[in-house]
Structures are given as structure tokens and as C-alpha cells.
Amino acid sequence: MANELMKPFAVNIDFQRGTISAPARVLRRTLKDLEGLFYDEEEYRRILAKEDPLLYEVYEVPVPNEEGHLLSCTTIIYPGKVGKEYYFTKGHFHEKEDRAEIYTCLQGEGYLLMHTRSGDVASIHMTPGVSAYIPPYWSHRTLNCGSEPFIFYGVWPGDAGHDYGSIKEEGFPLRVFEENGVPVVKKI
């Protein structure tokens, strides 16, 4: 595709449902897909023994994963918790860590959690209309802290790639737990 001239196109984004017309791919992540990532491992296993709930879906716009292109998607994170920890995405660094990303909240409420390999951490409370810039070299994970689906739109360079392995191996230093009915961000 690199030597072909790509034609302009448009997709329709359903802001209420979080879907994209004619997506290139739809990823569905269930509780089982996030093994080893939740803080309360005992509660994780207890829930998984009964059911494997859908935690989030990603609808990708059909664009090549290569330099010069901008990839984009919608992500829908469903409400729920494992113990006191809200449902979240796996989280990742970019394989090319000098690549940035933008997330814009379309519906619901959540948090964008970020950290660097040198130990810096940041969190942004996401509500409709909030557009967050994720600088190069920052990992990122999102979570739903509300009672309805949390839907956001993301845009990033086509050659950025995703490094999920570092998060799986090293963990994520920021967590959000429900305490006294409200979300509380904690550094672990």
C-alpha cells in the first residue's frame, strides 16, 4: 500500500454507541484478556470462574499501519469493577516511543492514566468534550469510572505500534479505585 495513492474517504462515528461505519477491525477484550493486570487477583479469579464479561471494544478506521498515515479508532469501555478497581484497557507504550496520541471523550466518564519509564505519572479526568494529549514516551491506559459506557476517539501516527508487553511485565503504577462512592487515583 505504501506505493499506492490512497483515496480520501470518510466514516461515520456514532457518538452515542461509539461505533464506526465499516471499521477495518473490531477488537473485543474480555476479562480473560486482561489476566494479571488487575490489582485484586483473587477477585479477578472469582469473577472469571463465573463469567467472562466484555470489558471494552475498539473500532478501528481502515487506514494502513505505516508512516505518513494517521490511525484512529473509537473505544468503548463498559461500566464495572474487579473488586474496587474500575474496568480498564490493557494500556501500552508505543513501539516507536517518540510518537504522541490524542484521546477525545465523546460520552461517559473515565480517566486517562499515563506514566514514563523514568517514573513520571499523570492522570486526566475524561468527560465529554475533554481532548487529552499524550506526549511521546508516555504509556497510557483508560478506564471507565461512571455508570454508562465511556466512549472516546483516539488518533495516533500509523507507524507508532503498540507495546503491551512492557505493561504486562512491569505493571502500571497508577490505579483508580472506588472509595466512598467516588474514584480515587493512587500511585502503587
Q: Is the pLDDT of residue 3 over 70?
A: no
What is residue 65's DSSP assignment? S
Give the pLDDT score at 2. Answer: 52
Q: Is the pLDDT of residue 89 over 80?
A: yes
Distances (CA, A) of 106 to 56, 62, 78, 128: 15, 20, 14, 5
Distances (CA, A) of 159 to 75, 84, 185: 20, 36, 31
Q: In this predicted model, what pLDDT tens digit does every residue of 11-28 receive, in sequence order?
A: 999 999 999 999 899 999
Distances (CA, A) of 121 to 28, 29, 116, 161: 28, 25, 7, 21
pTM above 0.85, yes or no: yes
d(CA 66, CA 71): 9
Encoded amino acid at 179, one letter: E
Q: In this predicted model, what pLDDT tens digit does every residue of 95-140 receive, in sequence order?
A: 999 999 999 999 999 999 999 999 999 999 999 999 999 999 999 9
SS3 state of residue 157: strand
